[in-house]
Amino acid sequence: MSNNDTKAPANKFLTVVKKVVSHQMFIPIMALLILAIVNLAFDPNFFKITLGKNNAGNPILSGPLITILDYGAETAILAIGMTLVTAAAGGQDISVGATIAIAGSAMLRVLCGTNPSPDTIQAPIIVAFLVACLVGMACGAFNGALVSFFKIQPMIATLILFTAGRSIAAWINLNKLPVVPDPKFAYFGGIIPGIPVPTPIFIMIACVLIMALILKFTNLGLYTQSVGINEKSAKLNGINPILIKFIAFVILGLCVAVAALIKVSRISTINYSVIAKDIEMDAILAVALGGNALSGGKFNMWASILGAYVFQFLTTTLYKFNIASSALPAYKATVVILLVFFSAPKVRETIGKGFKKLKESIGKSSKGAAGKASEGEA
Amino acid sequence: MKKVVALIMTACVAFGLMACSNSDKKDTTAANNETEAAGKDTEKAGGDEGGGSSDLIKVGIINNDPNESGYRTANDADLQKMFCKENGYDASFAYSLKNDEQIKYAQGFIQDEVDYLLLSAADTAGWDTVLQDAKNAGVKVILFDRTIDADPSLYEASIVSDMDKEGETAVNWLAGQGLSEYNVIHIQGVMGSAAQQGRSGALDKKVEAEANWNIVKQQTAEWNAEKAQQIVQSVIDSGTSFNVIYAENDDMAKGAVAALDAAGISHGVGKDVIVMGFDCNKWALEELLKQNWNYDGQCNPFQASYIDAIIKDLEAGKTPEKTIIMDEKGFDAATITQADVDNYGI
C-alpha cells in the first residue's frame, strides 16, 4: 500500500466536505434538518399531514409542515425583495412592516369605502390589490429615491416610513378598523374552496417562480451584484447604479403589497399598530440566515427564502414547546445569533481555511495516519 | 461586514432584553405601542385665547396618541365630545406617546393658565416637578386612565380601570359555565403591560386553585391577531384537546377563531370551544350577538363623564375621592343585546 493511494481519497473526501460545509446553503439546510429532527424526536407525528374539513365544510390539509409553509409565506416573499435591496444598496429596508400597514390600509379603504363595516365590498378585490401594489411601490420608490438619488444610508432613509408608516396607515382609514364582509377576500390568507392547500403557499411559490424567471432571463441579478460589489466600476461599465438601487426598492415595495394582501386577508381586517409587527427584522434575518453579506454584493435568493423558512420553523417550534412567554425572545435571539454567526461569510471562510489546514496536516502525517484515515472513511 | 453583523446581533439582544424587561411599561390599552409613531401634534379645540368668555372652564388635556388603538380612539372621541364649548369648557388637546413630550405640553398648559390639567401619562415616572409647578400655579390636576408614581397631594383625583377586576370578572364568568373540565389556551398580551398582568393574574390564580382547570398553552401573542392564530394552530397541530380560549384582547381572540375555523372546530354558545376576548370592540360584540364568541370583557374608555363630575364637584367646593375605579362590564353572548353593542362597542 503506497502513501499516495490513501492520501488521495482522504483529501478528496475533505475537499468535498469543505465544499459542502462552506457552501452558502449549508447552514440554512442544516438548521432546517436540526429543527426537523428535534421536532420529530419530541413528536413522532410531526410530518403527518391530515385532510380535514374547515368550518365552512371545505377540505383543508393540516399539519405542522403545512402550518410552517403557510405562515412563512409573507416573510419568504419579503425576503425576495430584501435580498435585492441588500445586495444593491448594501443596507436594509426597516420600513417593510409599516409599509405593509400602509398598503393593507389602502386595500381596505378601497374595499370598504368610508364605512368600516359595509354589507358588500365597494370595489372588486383585484382593483383593491392593484391599488395596494401602487401604494407599496410608491413607498418603495420613496425609500429608493432617498437611497439612490440622495445617497442616504438605507436604514436611515427607511427609518422615516418605519416611524410614520403606521400613523399614515391609520390616517388612510380615518382611524377606523374596517372589516371586509366578502368571504372571497379571505381566500388569499386561507383556502380557496375545493383546494385543500392554503393559498399563501401558492402565492409564495408564484412570487419565487416569477423572481427566478426574472433572474434567469434578465441581467437584473448580475447588475445588482455588480452595483453592490463596486458601484464605481459598475458605473464605468455602463450600469446605472441609481436606477438599479431604485428598482430594487420598488420590487421590494411590490413584495410588500403581496405580503400585505396575505396578512390582511388572514383576518379580513387590520390593526395598524400590530399588523406585521417586527416582520422587517424577520426578513432581514432571513437574508442573513441565508448567508448573504448584509453589506451588499453577491447574493443567493434561494438561501434567503430558505432562511425565511428556517426562521418560521423556529417560531413554530418555539410555540410548540411550552416555553414561558417572557423567555421566548431570549430563546429566539440565542438561536438566531448562533445561526447568523455560522452563516456569516467571514466565518464560512475561516471554516474553509480550517479544512485546508486539516488537509495539509493529513498530507504531512499521512504515513502514520494513513491506516486510520482509510478506516474512518470506511 | 463585521460591523453589520455586530449591529444585527446587538439589535437581536436588545430586542430580546426589551421584550423581557418591559415590566415597568404601563400600557393599559390593548395595543402595543413600541413601534407606533409618536403623534406630536397639538390641536386647539375652541381655543380663542382672547375670546373673553370667562365663564368657560379652561382645561388642558394630555392624552396618548389616538392612533395607538381602538381603545384610545374611543377614549379621545369621548373626551372631545364632553369637553366642548356647549358643555362649558374651553379645551386644548395634546397628544404624545412619549413622557418627555407630554411633560413639555404640561408645562405649556401651565403657562397658558388652564384651570384643570387632565393627564393620561405615557409613563409612570418623572411627573413630580411639573405637577408641583402646576400646584404652585393653582392648576388642578386630574389623572385619567393611567396612574403615576407621584405624591397623591399633587393631583385631585385619578380615574382608573382595575385590570385585576376585569380578569376576575371574566374568570368568574368562566367558572360559572360549569364545565366538568377546563382546558384553556391562554393567549397573553405584551408581557408586563398592566392589561396583561391583570387579565393573566386572575386566570393563573384560578388554575392553581382548581384541580379541573388546566392550561393547555400559555403564550404571548403581543396583542397580535395573527400570532394568536399561529399559537392556536400549533396546539391544534399537536393534537392536544382544549375547550376554552382565553384571549386577552379581541384581536387575538379573532386570530384564535380563524385557526379554529380552518381546523373545523366549532366555537361559540353551546359549541365545543368557549371563546373569550377583552376590550369590547364593536365587531367583537357583534360576534357575541351572532353567538360565535361567548364572552367579552370591557376595558372602559369612557372616562369623560367621570372627569366632568369631578370638575363639577371641585367647582362646587367639594373634595372628590382620590381614586375612582370605573364600572366595567363583562358581556355574555347568551344575554347581550343590540343596544349593548351600540352603547358599549368601541
C-alpha cell at B245: 380560549
Domain assignment of residue A53, yes or no: yes
For residue B285, the distance in angstroms to the closest alpha carbon of chain A comes to 13
CATH code of residue A65: 1.10.3470
Residue to mutate among A273, A323, A326, with most B CBs inside 10 A, is A273
Confirm or reject contact between B188 and chain A (CB < 8 A): yes
**A248 part of contact set with chain B, CB < 8 Å:** no
DSSP helix, strand, coil percent of chain B (3-state; round to 5)? 45, 20, 40
From chain A, the residues in CB contact with B237 under 8 A are 62-64, 67, 320
Residue of A176, A279, A314, A325 to mutate when probing chain B, most B C-beta within 10 A: A325
Chain A residues with beta carbon closer than 8 angstroms to that of B11:
281
- Give me the domains of chain B, ranges plus CATH numbers: 42-161+301-315 (3.40.50.2300), 163-299+332-344 (3.40.50.2300)
Given CA atoms B256, B258, B262, B268 in this order, what sign does their dihedral have? Answer: positive
Nearest to B110 by CA among B72, B154, B160: B154
Is any Cβ of chain A less than 8 angstroms from the Cβ of B297?
no
- For B187, the closest chain A residue by CA position comes to A325
User: Can you tell me the mean pLDDT for A247-273?
Assistant: 93
Instruction: Tell me the C-alpha to C-alpha distance, in Å, between residue B5 and each of A336, A340, B8, B29.
Output: 12, 8, 5, 36
| Cα distance between residue A314 and residue A75, in whole Å | 13
Residue A282 domain-assigned (yes or no): yes
- Interval A111-150: pLDDT, tens: 998 887 788 888 999 999 999 999 999 999 999 999 999 9
Q: ipTM of this model?
A: 0.85
Give dist(CA B329, CA A342) in Å, integer.
53
Q: Say what the pTM is.
A: 0.81
User: pLDDT tens for residues B290-335?
Assistant: 999 999 998 888 889 899 999 999 999 888 888 888 888 899 999 9
Residue A13 inside a domain? The answer is: no
By CB atoms closer than 10 A (0-12, 13-18, 19+), residue B59 is buried
Question: Total structural domains in chain A?
Answer: 1
Q: A288–B69: do the CB atoms touch at under 8 Å? A: no
Q: Report if residue A378 sits inside a domain.
A: no
Residue B14 in contact with partner chain A when CB distance is under 8 A = no
**Residue-wise pLDDT tens digits, B236-269:** 998 899 999 999 999 999 999 999 999 999 999 9
As a whole number of angstroms, the distance between CA B294 and CA B271 comes to 10
Nearest CB neighbour to B226, from listed A162, A263, A332: A263
Sheet holding B42-44, edge to edge: B42-44, B89-95, B57-63, B116-119, B140-145, B157-160, B323-325
Interface contact flag, B264 A281, Cβ < 8 Å? no
Three-state secondary-structure class, residue B295: strand
pLDDT band at A178 (very low <50, low <70, confident <90, very high): confident
Question: Is B36 at the interface with chain A, CB within 8 A?
Answer: yes
Do the domain assignments include residue A145? yes
CB B129 within 8 A of CB B102: no
Residue A133 lies in a domain: yes
A193 pLDDT more than 80? yes
Nearest to A93 by CA among A158, A162, A156: A158
- Band of the pLDDT at B31, cuts 50, 70, 90? very low
Q: Which residues contact B16 (CB under 8 A, 6 or more apart)?
A: A329, A330, A332, A333
- Residue A226 resides in a domain: yes
Q: Does B2 touch chain A (CB under 8 A)?
A: yes
With respect to residue A332, please indicate whether it lies within any of the assigned structural domains: yes
Domain that holds residue A322: 3-8+19-373
A 207-236 → B contacts, CB under 8 A:
none
Q: What is the pLDDT of residues A308-367, one digit of tens each?
A: 999 899 988 888 888 887 788 888 888 888 888 887 778 878 887 887 788 788 777 655
Question: Distance from first CA to last CA of chain A, Å, rounded?
Answer: 16
Residues B152-162 pLDDT 10s? 899 999 998 88
State whether B8 and A340 contact (CB < 8 Å): yes
